[in-house]
Amino acid sequence: MLPVMIVLALLLVAAAAVAYYAIRVEPFRILMPEFEIPCPGLPEELDGLRIAHGTDIHIGVSQGNRKAVERAIKAARADLFVLTGDYLYGHGGGEEFARWLPGIGGVPLPAVAVTGNGEYKHFAPRELVVEALRGCGVSVLRNECILTPVRGGELQVVGVDDPHTGHADAEAAFASADPDRWTLMLAHSPEALFDIGGKRCDLMLCGHTHGGQVKLPILGAVSRHLRRGRAIYSGWYGPAKIEAVVGFAVGELRVFISRGLGTARLAIRYNAPPELPIHILRRVA
């Protein structure tokens, strides 16, 4: 058997290596996975539509991966860019974001966005963030529905304001939506699922959870930051899983919860790397 001191030294080295990886490696390793999504009822002209999904950028937190975020945004090949909230974090984040976004040339257009709980904290200059997005040509939906011109057609997009802080109003958001149109819904948190009973929603994209941000072996995600629906917190979920959580029928709805781009509080990630996914819509007759 190894002497106790050697075992302790090895454990300390291992702990230091994990800490280094979580602080200096994983936050910078932004993945850009591509997912092909079967979409019953999708208009023929939207077959193959590429949607880049950015969320939880958290400008203002003391993370050093901002350049990696910029590179990922510029590398995204998509027909539509969507953003699902939490653009800032901490005091001064709003001012930083308002400088940062125009400074990198914004995001590829057309682009549609919603706000997150980070924009509703007591110190958050929410309107400054919204103005910065709109100033870069991004359509910001706050419990609204729009038809977005893409690839020679139109995509119906419904966007709710932040559900985590109680600002989502699904009734208002879907009020002008055509129930016969294939519909993309944007929300910051998957908690919005509980408000869409009876409404046409084919694909929902959201973030908020950071995929746990730190996922430990056996124990799993350290934090999911959800008040409801904690079983749905990262990646893809289909109708059966969603219905088991929300308690009502959701039709053909699929949900993707992104791990996001930035960090919060502790500027670390472990076993939950940041991502900027590309969703490719495939028409199913």
Task: Give me the CATH code for the 4-284 domain, please.
Answer: 3.60.21
Tens digits of residue pLDDT in 58-112: 988 655 788 999 999 999 999 999 999 999 887 778 888 999 999 999 999 999 9
Phi, psi of 270 (to 5 degrees): -145, 120
Question: Domain extents for the chain?
Answer: 4-284
The pTM of this model reads 0.94
pLDDT bracket for residue 266 (50, 70, 90): confident
